[in-house]
Amino acid sequence: MKYLPLDSRIFIGNRKRFVAKMLPGSIAIFVSNDEFPSNGDALHPFKQNSDLFWLSGIEQEDSMVILFPDCPDPKYREVLVLVRPNALKEKWDGKRLRAAEATAISGIHTIVWTDSLDALLQGWIHLADTIYLNSNENDRKATAIRSREYRFIDEMKQRYPLHQYQRAARIMKELRAIKTKEEIVVVQQAIDITEVTFRRLLQFIQPGVTEYEIEAEIMHSFLRQRATGPAYGSIIASGDNARTLHYVSNNGICNNGELILMDFGAQYGGYNADLTRTVPVNGKFSKRQRVVYDACLHLHNYAKSILKPGISIVDYTEKVGDEATRQFQKIGLLTKADVKNEDKDNRAYRKYLYHGISHHLGLDVHDLGTRTAPVKPGMLFTIEPGIYIEEEQMGIRIENNVWITKNGSIDLMKNIPITADEIESLMKRK
């Protein structure tokens, strides 16, 4: 790992939170992600299962976390399963964790090697009544690939058909949505890296630069600050490219007089930042660009002001839509007739703002969390309204990350330049 060691209390606390939700006489088993082949004999870079990482901080492949709080032998109430280090394999693939190293990361003191697990696991299962197994229950899941989690579910049910089974994902969805102070410290590190990078870009961007050169600057800045890399594929969209929400070609030229929308964020210690800023390529907003930009910033600030405990994302989105309707009339995008005759299921403002305003953020960029229940203190959200105008070949989005408190929220990106004046001033100094 490139990042500095995290505080193991993050993972110790997370396990305590999960165990508190388990039924008496139950055992929970979490398995790591697959290593996926790409082409030939190559593999895609390994990405750990987010739930297993949340419980342990372990990024190594072929690992497991087993929680059995009622085990008669206290030694086996928390178990971390790892591949036994092999000197010959390490010559090819690099060093694997030793027991003491794994304990320092996770806070789990009992380390079991995979080649000695079966006999132990069978005894634990026979002592338990209920088995918690994990699965991917992210609402945005869009793949039919049968991952290791689902194959492990099949295996366990075949071997132990008379046990009761519970979905660990239901507990995870509730717990992971609430970020602890220790987790926010790591998120803030990812955000600080992203801030340094954005300020660097304001000195770099000018007419004639390419989108991929900006992307290269982002990667360079991230890695030199110990980030794992980008939290997701950076969106560097100049001119009309900005109207494509997930634009990732990043092969255009930034032209004088255009805006450039940049949606990017660093990943640090497994946690993600998610920033969007839209800036003038030549360092100066035109009169019309500033009008639209200020309208978008108004929506951003309005959304931040109402995203508080008790509101649901559905109601929150509706209220932001009402404000967007007012703003879009002010800047000449909608008429009173457009609003009066709108389809309530496809409101008029949706022509210019056709995506959600916020999503949960954390170990996953689109992190676990409900979109129907009321917002709770501790949740971490993006706030990212946008305005996309086909007739003017213009797209603007402004995004910050906020941590919900008892009475409101803390903007974790409050130090990142956001107003048109701040952006112009910093770009002028290059």
C-alpha to C-alpha distance for 192 and 187, rounded to whole angstroms: 9
C-alpha to C-alpha distance for 400 and 233, rounded to whole angstroms: 17
CB atoms inside a 10 Å sphere around CB 88? 7
Exposed/middle/buried for residue 294 (C-beta within 10 Å: 0-12, 13-18, 19+)? middle
Torsion of CA 60, 62, 63, 66, to 10 degrees: 160
pLDDT of amino acid 430: 64
pLDDT of amino acid 260: 98
Q: CA–CA distance from 4 to each of 55, 134, 171, 219 (Å)?
A: 18, 29, 29, 18
- Sequence letter at residue 358: S
Classified as helix, coil or strand, 101 is helix
CATH 3.40.350.10-classified regions of the chain: 9-176
CB atoms inside a 10 Å sphere around CB 106? 24
pLDDT of amino acid 89: 85
Alpha-carbon torsion (326, 331, 335, 341), positive or negative = negative
CB atoms inside a 10 Å sphere around CB 93? 10
C-alpha to C-alpha distance for 356 and 314, rounded to whole angstroms: 10
211-224 helix and 181-204 helix, angle to the nearest 10 degrees: 140
Across the beta sheet with 259-264, the strand order is: 235-238, 259-264, 275-280
pTM of the predicted protein model: 0.95
Q: CA–CA distance from 7 to each of 24, 223, 229, 325, 327 (Å)?
A: 29, 21, 20, 46, 45
Alpha-carbon torsion (241, 231, 64, 16), positive or negative = negative
pLDDT of amino acid 137: 84
Reported in sequence order, the residue ranges of 114-258 that DSSP labels E, i.e. its strands, are: 130-133, 164-167, 229-230, 235-238
CATH topology of domain 9-176: Creatine Amidinohydrolase; Chain A, domain 1 (3.40.350)
Mean pLDDT by 10 residues, the chain (430 residues): 95 98 98 92 92 98 98 98 92 92 98 96 98 90 83 97 97 97 98 98 98 98 98 98 96 98 98 98 98 98 98 96 98 97 96 97 95 94 98 98 96 98 92
- Sequence letter at residue 118: D
pLDDT of amino acid 306: 98
pLDDT of amino acid 140: 78
| Letter string b/e over residues 194-212, b meaning 16 or more CB atoms within 10 A of that residue's CB | bbebbeebbeebeeebebe
DSSP 8-state assignment for residue 394: E
Asked if residues 171 and 21 have their Cβ atoms less than 8 Å apart, the reply is yes
C-alpha to C-alpha distance for 239 and 423, rounded to whole angstroms: 18
DSSP 8-state assignment for residue 163: S
Asked if residues 407 and 347 have their Cβ atoms less than 8 Å apart, the reply is no
CB atoms inside a 10 Å sphere around CB 109? 13
pLDDT of amino acid 212: 98
The architecture that CATH gives domain 181-428 is Alpha-Beta Complex (3.90)
Q: CA–CA distance from 80 to each of 14, 111, 149 (Å)?
A: 15, 5, 17
181-204 helix and 420-428 helix, angle to the nearest 10 degrees: 50
CATH 3.90.230.10-classified regions of the chain: 181-428
